[in-house]
Structure 1
Amino acid sequence: MIDFQSGYILRPVNPVFIYFSLFCALLLNLLPIGNYGWVPDWLIICMVFWNIHQHRYVSVITAFILGLMMDVHNSDLLGLHAFSYSLVAYVAISWHRRIVALTVLSQAVHLLPVFLLVALFPVLVHWALSGELYWWALTGAVQAFIEAMLWPLATRILLAPQRRPIDVDHNRPL
């Protein structure tokens, strides 16, 4: 795979690193910080990143399983996060060729509707099921903007192991 911003040919990704990063993102989501609008969904950032860059390792089924874990953790309607994570994974996989060719900031702008989808989907489902719309729950839009702003940092961190050279030769300039 080629990093289009630098023209650097990336090394193959280690699947252990992929699943370790997803596990760390899940642990960050499980922290008892609270369900505030300014707390980003770390798991969706990591999952969308791997769906775009390595969709053979992180599929819609992986997103569904991680969504079920988040449903159980949040004591929410079972399948709510699972469906929204699966939907977002499907969109990310179908857009992966378009997104990879863009700059990192353009990627963040293009992924903002995806982050809005996953942030506002639970609010819309609760509204459809109960008939009551909690306006304070619409702070998920703030969460989506924060996730889009964190996209360049996530890209830098998650691509770092692939950018390092295999062997460093100080006599060869390339």
Structure 2
Amino acid sequence: MMDRNRIMIIWITLLIGLCLQIIPWSPSYSIFKPHILILIFSYWLIALPHRVGIGTAFVFGIIMDLCTGSILGIHAFIYSFIAYLLVFKFQLIRNLALWQQSFIIFGVSVCYNLLVFLFQICIYHTITISSLIFISSCIDGLLWIAIYLFLRLIRRSFAID
């Protein structure tokens, strides 16, 4: 029973991240919007890859597709791909300093933005990219430190392992 409650804490943090991710921002500030769900997924994938994996990322990607109204499977593929990249090298990433992990998360965020861009080109035949796309990735890299420390505090206080 205790193990189930610990897993529920992980799912609650992911659901909160999903809710924060689908909150609409004004168009002038949307370039600054961080990818909160990806940051929370990244933490759990690096910290506990045996609890949160590619399948969980796929499920939340489908939910994200349903909430945003995009074509079903786009976010599921992107989240699964990012989860694969992080799980593949989770021990290396886990042993890096926090500022080095921040650069890895910056790269993951750039990967997310580029994959969304490629799907927009392939499906909608529109090009909507600017050099400002790296601003949200920089914000993700900086926000990683706060999210990492906060989720580590939650993980330790609830003894999630």
* TM-score normalized by the length of structure 1: 0.79
2:16 is the counterpart of 1:24? yes
% identical aligned pairs: 24
Q: Distance in 2 between matches of 1:122 and 1:77?
A: 11
Q: Over the residues paired in the alignment, what is the CA RMSD in angstroms?
A: 2.1
Any runs of at least 4 consecutive aligned residues in structure 1 with deviations exceeding 6 A, and if so which? Answer: none
Distance 1:132 1:159, change over 3 A: same
Structure-2 change in CA distance of 1:128 and 1:21 (3 Å): same
Q: By how many angstroms is 1:104 displaced?
A: 0.5
The residue matched to 1:14 in structure 2 has which SS? helix
Structure with the greater alpha carbon radius of gyration? 1
Instruction: Indicate yes or no: 2:67 matched with 1:88.
Output: no
Compute the TM-score of the two structures, normalised by the length of structure 2: 0.85
- Unaligned segments of structure 1, at least 5 residues: 1-12, 167-174
**Equivalent residues of 1:120, 1:141 under 8 A apart:** no
TM-fit CA distance, 1:161? 3.0
From 127, 133, 143, give the equivalent of 1:133: 127
8 Å CA contact 1:63, 1:85 repeated in 2: yes
Question: Once the 2 structures are TM-superposed, how far is the Cα of residue 139 of structure 1 from its aligned partner?
Answer: 3.9
Q: Distance in 2 between matches of 1:95 and 1:19?
A: 23
Q: Structure 2 CA distance, aligned partners of 1:52 and 1:125? A: 26
In the alignment, does 2:30 pair up with 1:44? no
Residue 77 of structure 1 aligns with an amino acid whose one-letter code is I
State how far apart, in whole Å, the 2-side matches of 1:82 and 1:31 are: 19
Structure with greater proportional helix content: 2
